[in-house]
A = this chain, B = another copy of it.
């Protein structure tokens, strides 16, 4: 199923922050992990992810560090800062509330 892209607005942020709450990851890994866990429903675009990471780093939510992988290629890992962790929790709570409110409104017809 293809989503209208509009649905994704906002979700990208929570998604990144939530994944990084578990462990530090590099960009490409985030793309794959999101796709894997959602059974390919989400296919975040690079032009969406990388600028978002940079912006969150500028905002002080993330700290980046280069590490070499075993294959020799360099990877840029992103880890949550303390500030970022608080922000992640806040965003997560917002998402939960939003989807609960949506259920309350839509639920009347279906289930």
- How far, in angstroms, from A7 to B6 measured CA to CA in the complex? 10
Taking a contact as CB atoms under 8 Å apart, the answer to whether A38 and B104 are in contact is: yes
A59 interfacial contact with B, CB 8 Å: no
The residues of B that contact A7 with a CB separation of less than 8 Å are 9-11, 94-95, 98
The residue in chain B whose Cβ has the minimal distance to the Cβ of A19 is: B105
Least Cβ–Cβ distance between A52 and chain B, in angstroms: 11
| Copies of this polypeptide in the complex | 2
Given contacts A18-B109, A34-B105, A42-B105, contact A94 B10 (CB under 8 A): no
**Chain A residues proximal to chain B, CB less than 8 Å:** 1, 3-4, 6-11, 13-15, 18-19, 21-22, 34, 37-39, 41-42, 91-95, 97-102, 104-106, 108-110
